[in-house]
Structure 1
């Protein structure tokens, strides 16, 4: 069976892949996401995904013949790229700007199998509820929005604050399964061969 390597520390991406039948080996890239500046939000997500994939693909602990996936997600609001807020103050500012509005969540994907590389970005519209200051404060206090792109999750505590999604739901979690399936084919593998259904 082909080894699938996820070059990401995201528990949400790992859970999404496992629920889809793939049990990846996780090797965190260690890429500094702040090193890339000045790109449009979708381009930023794609470039960071590429850097993460490259950082892991050539490591000695990656088994020969592995398929390596790098991903990165960025929320676009008013043309600005919003990654992980990092602090409670920034998360609060984000939510005050986002509430009652629609943003676009871009997830860059870079897949490498040997010398073959396939890349693409999936974009999904996200409509946020017009939540109160008290709800913003309570959500930020949970700590969840501090360490996720766009300061929200759709599969966690913040799910109730997302009113509508137009596009791939999995993409908002961090990895677009339909897009990933196409990329797997591009690098010469079959999606179903990556399944690990005996886990």
Structure 2
């Protein structure tokens, strides 16, 4: 049998199998910094408090909803622009006992793994670095396509003591609780 006759058909079949996935695939690679934000929540003397971080940047961003396991992201959060709700707290947070923003101007999350959980739900596991200390965190999030953008919304909790945030007399969790809740809304474009 002449197999050379079948080679063009085999090649056409292989290429046609890959085309539907390629034609519908959208990879989100560019952060829309104006539409994206991150916030935090904590408890100070048993009173719930909220705050917002400064600008977000994503020097690495690659998310294809058809292949979430291949996703890569590095999110940088500018700590100098932190807003805890009032000027005195903002000034305190920049000090070495708290965020040490002069020496460590960024908090950075670097993904190591993204898992699809079904129904538009995912989780990213990666390394969070604050004040030069790196710990592994897992951040559940949802993803939805909205016109020409992809919207990621989620959050996680970390313990401030793990990163040396709140040293000296501020180590007392009766004044400021150890748990810090982070929420985010990241908007990306192809």
**Structure number with larger C-alpha Rg:** 2
Answer 1 or 2: which has greater strand percent.
Answer: 2
Answer 1 or 2: which has greater helix percent.
Answer: 1
TM-score bucket of the superposed structures, by smaller chain:
0.3 to 0.5
TM-score by length of 1: 0.31
TM-score by length of 2: 0.32
